Amino acid sequence: MRYTALYLSGEKMLEQKPKRYRYPLEIISIAVWSYHRFNDSYRDVSERLLYRGIEVSYETVRQWCIKFGPHFKDVIKKREPRPSDKWHLDEQQLRINGEIYYLLMLRTVNFKLPYF
């Protein structure tokens, strides 16, 4: 059995080369990844591939997503930042034209949320 790894954005997506598939591993990975990452329809994914010169039916994309989708979904979900249990509230007092304004920023340990 031949093993190969495909890395998409630095993350290992598929380790084992699928057998009896017409298209290479890279095309299958891009189709399934874009379906799960951008929440596109099967037809949108097939149109995006057609724009790049790869003719794939939406039914083929659907079958790929059923077979390889759970692995891609787990990898993408693992990459998303999760809010932590600790939240920090930063407060700044600004004086503009004699009036006092308060600038609040709510953030977690992992990422910052915008000012409000």
pTM, to two decimals: 0.54
Highest mean pLDDT among 11-15, 20-24, 39-43: 39-43
> Which residues are CB-contacts of 27 (< 8 A; sequence separation ≥ 6)?
49, 54, 56
Q: pLDDT tens across 75-114, in order?
A: 777 776 666 667 777 888 889 999 999 888 777 666 655 5
Task: Compute φ and ψ for 37, nearest 5 degrees.
Answer: -75, -45
Identify the three-state secondary structure at position 86.
coil
The Cα–Cα gap between 46 and 100 comes to 55
Percentage of residues in the chain having pLDDT higher than 70? 71
**First vs last Cα of the chain: how many Å apart?**
55
